[in-house]
Each structure stands twice: as structure tokens, then as C-alpha cells.
């Protein structure tokens, strides 16, 4: 990479960070209830728990904004990793059934054990995400063509519907679990719990650091398995560590905010248009751009449905579904991985 290209990407990253800061501030300042900007600033600098507006800003909007930052970064990195490991630009934690597997794990834990906190059912989410990923890849890789992009997408969609059906079969027999699940299932930041966020944050941090540490190895594997091995990259170890990172990121994000789809598809696709196939830049860009998308969708959901709100997962689905269709139609011209 030339020095000019590196400077351009660095300036782009600075711009993305500035945009993220602006969206973060907007998420705190704007919501289903209109609060004067001066009151928002005062609530952040001189909090008074006896004032309703201060409580809304400090105790409701701030935690959901922090959750949106964490979940967005996790889904963006997970999507980029999945696309790299499968060499499939159509891969996404939601499309490949990983989010739905994590959701099923959460539902099983809620229905069977009565757990109600992400701190309790996060291990079930990890297990569901891991099992789903393995099953989808095993089915999608069968046959002479191997794990082609379209085969993996089809296998992922099929497993998503199967897992979704199992989830509802469990919920229909447990009304209490259904009541706890229905708001969470749409993918929302509304019920952000600071304690729960702090509980899943270590898993998200480990997954993010592991993903970023794999950037050079992913660049080598993108040249092909034989070329990567010739460059000293251990293929099995890289894929195993990548799978661990995806499981940590998707499991923790789904446990905290519910299944939010299409973020892991859209963000790597857009980031790759800026950075090209270099994962040393692609992963950091995804880390920054994904929270912009999640928080932007959350702000839009709060503003459009005042005084109620629309879950962030619904907004991302409205944007992501047409993009997926366009990508499948143009699969012969997909960005190089």
C-alpha cells in the first residue's frame, strides 16, 4: 500500500470517528421525548435524580447509547470475520443463523431455568451461536462445489427458519417466557441495563481484540490456503480463533440486545468499498462504522414512532433486506475478499 493510500485511509478513519462521536451525542440528546439541549447538557454534567428529564437522559439514554456502541462494534467485527473465514461477501451473523442460534439458546435458558438477565443466559447464547455456525457450515460445505457463497446463504436461511420455529414452539408452551422474550426478540436497545452491559463487556472486548489481532493472518489466507501457509499462517489456528471471536461477539451482543440482523452484512460491504480487501484497515473501519449504523437506526426508530419507538432490528432489516437482494443479483461483481 502506498503512502498516499494509507494517508487517505487514515483521514477516512478520522472522519468516521468524528461521525461516530456526532451520532453518539445525538443519541443522548434525541429521543421519543423532546428535551431541550441545555437540559441534556446539564443532565450529563450536573445530574439531579429528582428531575424527570435528567433521569431520562442519564439513566435511560446514556446506557442505551453505550449498549449501541458495544453491540454495533461487535456485529460489525463479527460480520467482517465471517466473510473473511468463509470467503463469502454475503455472510452475516443473522443470515447464517448465528444470531438465531444465540436467540434459541437464550430462550431455552429463560424457559427451562427461569433466567432473566444477560449475565445468566449469556453462556446459553454462546452455545447456541457456536452450534448454529458449525451446522450451517457443515451443510453448506457438502457437495463438490464446497462452501460457495450462495450455498452458505441458503443453508443459513434454512437453519434460521428451523431455529425460529423451535424457538416459537418453546415459547408457545411457556407464556411467562414469551412475555419476557417478545420485546427482546425484535432487537432493541430500549431495555439497556448498565449492570448487564458491564457483564457482557469483557466478552465483547476479548472478541474484538482477537478479531483485530487476526488481521494480518486473514490477509494471508485471502490469497488462498496454500499461499497463506507459505507465508507462515496456520490455517486451522486462524479459523479456530476467528470462530471463537465470532461466537464471543455474536453471543454477547445477542444476549444484551436481542438478534439484530443485517449489520454484519451491510457494514463490511460498505467498508470494503473504502478500504479494499486489506483487513488491517477493514476491521477497524467496521469497528467504527457499525455503531454509527446501529445508533442511527435506534435514533430513527425513536423519532419515527413518537411517543413510542421502533426496535433497531426492525430498522436495520428494512435497510438490509433490499441490500442483500441487490448483492445476490450482482454476485458476479461482489467486492473482492
For Cα atoms 127, 235, 269, give the angle at the middle one, nearest 5 degrees. Answer: 70
**Do 282 and 275 form a contact (C-beta atoms < 8 A)?**
yes
The pLDDT value given to residue 308: 80
User: What does the block give as the cell for 295?
Assistant: 445508533
pLDDT tens digits for range 89-135: 777 787 778 888 888 888 888 888 877 776 777 788 888 888 888 88
pLDDT above 90 as % of the chain: 31
- Greater confidence (54 vs 139) lies with 54
The pLDDT value given to residue 134: 82
State how far the Cα of 110 lies from the Cα of 81, in Å rounded to an integer.
29
Q: What is the CA radius of gyration of the chain?
A: 20
State how far the Cα of 331 lies from the Cα of 91, in Å rounded to an integer.
12
The pLDDT value given to residue 225: 63
- In the predicted structure, residue 42 carries a pLDDT above the cut 70: yes
Return the minimum-mean-pLDDT range out of 56-60, 115-119, 296-300, 309-313.
115-119
Range 68-86 average pLDDT: 92
Q: Shortest CA distance to 150 belongs to which of 327, 337, 336? A: 327
Sequence-separated (6 or more) residues with CB below 8 Å from residue 214: 81, 238, 241, 242, 245, 279
The pLDDT value given to residue 282: 95
Of the pLDDT bands very low, low, confident and very high (cuts 50, 70, 90), residue 146 is: low
- In the predicted structure, residue 79 carries a pLDDT above the cut 80: yes
pLDDT tens digits for range 211-255: 999 998 888 877 776 666 666 677 778 888 888 898 889 888 888
Domains of the chain: 66-333 (1.10.3470.10)
Omega before 300 within 30 of 0, i.e. cis:
no
- In the predicted structure, residue 174 carries a pLDDT above the cut 60: yes
Q: What does each C-alpha distance from 22 to 15, 42, 61, 292, 313 come to in angstroms?
A: 11, 18, 15, 9, 21
**Do 296 and 171 form a contact (C-beta atoms < 8 A)?**
no
For 210-240, give the DSSP string.
HHHHTHHHHHHHHT-HHHHHHTT--HHHHHH
Instruction: Scan for cell 443485517, then name that residue.
Output: 262
Rounded to 10 degrees, what is the CA torsion of 325, 73, 20, 69? 120
The pLDDT value given to residue 223: 75
What is the largest distance, in Å, between two alpha-carbon atoms of the chain? Answer: 67
Q: Report which DSSP code applies to 95.
A: T
3-class DSSP assignment, residue 65: helix
Amino acid at each position: 500500500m502506498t503512502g498516499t493510500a494509507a494517508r487517505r485511509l487514515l483521514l477516512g478513519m478520522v472522519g468516521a470517528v468524528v461521525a461516530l462521536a456526532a451520532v453518539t451525542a445525538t443519541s443522548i440528546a434525541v429521543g421519543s421525548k423532546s428535551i431541550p439541549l441545555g437540559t441534556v447538557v446539564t443532565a450529563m454534567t450536573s445530574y439531579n435524580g429528582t428531575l424527570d428529564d435528567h433521569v431520562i437522559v442519564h439513566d435511560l439514554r446514556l446506557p442505551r447509547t453505550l449498549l449501541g456502541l458495544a453491540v454495533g462494534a461487535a456485529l460489525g467485527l463479527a460480520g467482517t470475520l465471517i466473510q473473511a473465514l468463509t470467503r463469502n461477501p454475503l455472510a452475516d451473523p443473522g443470515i447464517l443463523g448465528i444470531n438465531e442460534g444465540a436467540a434459541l439458546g437464550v430462550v431455552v435458558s429463560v424457559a427451562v431455568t427461569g433466567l432473566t438477565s444477560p449475565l445468566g443466559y449469556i453462556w446459553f447464547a454462546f452455545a447456541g451461536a457456536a452450534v448454529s455456525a458449525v451446522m450451517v457450515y457443515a451443510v453448506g460445505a457438502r457437495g463438490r462445489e464446497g462452501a460457495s457463497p450462495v450455498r452458505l446463504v441458503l443453508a443459513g436461511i434454512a437453519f434460521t427458519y428451523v431455529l425460529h420455529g423451535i424457538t416459537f414452539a418453546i415459547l408457545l408452551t411457556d407464556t411467562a417466557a414469551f412475555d419476557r422474550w417478545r420485546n427482546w426478540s425484535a432487537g432493541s436497545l430500549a431495555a439497556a441495563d448498565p449492570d448487564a452491559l458491564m457483564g457482557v463487556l469483557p466478552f465483547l472486548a476479548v472478541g474484538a481484540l482477537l478479531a483485530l489481532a487476526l488481521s494480518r493472518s486473514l490477509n494471508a489466507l485471502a490469497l488462498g490456503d496454500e499461499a497463506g501457509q507459505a507465508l507462515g499462517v496456520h490455517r486451522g489456528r486462524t479459523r479456530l480463533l476467528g470462530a471463537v471471536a465470532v461466537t464471543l461477539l455474536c453471543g454477547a451482543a445477542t444476549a444484551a440486545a436481542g438478534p439484530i440482523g443485517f449489520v454484519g452484512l451491510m457494514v463490511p460491504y460498505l467498508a470494503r468499498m473504502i478500504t479494499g480487501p486489506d483487513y488491517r484497515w477493514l476491521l477497524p473501519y467496521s469497528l467504527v462504522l457499525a455503531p454509527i449504523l446501529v445508533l442511527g437506526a435506534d435514533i430513527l426508530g425513536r423519532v419515527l414512532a413518537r411517543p413510542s419507538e421502533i426496535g433497531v432490528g426492525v430498522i436495520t432489516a428494512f435497510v438490509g433486506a433490499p441490500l442483500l437482494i441487490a448483492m445476490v443479483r450482482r454476485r458476479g461483481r461482489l467486492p473482492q475478499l
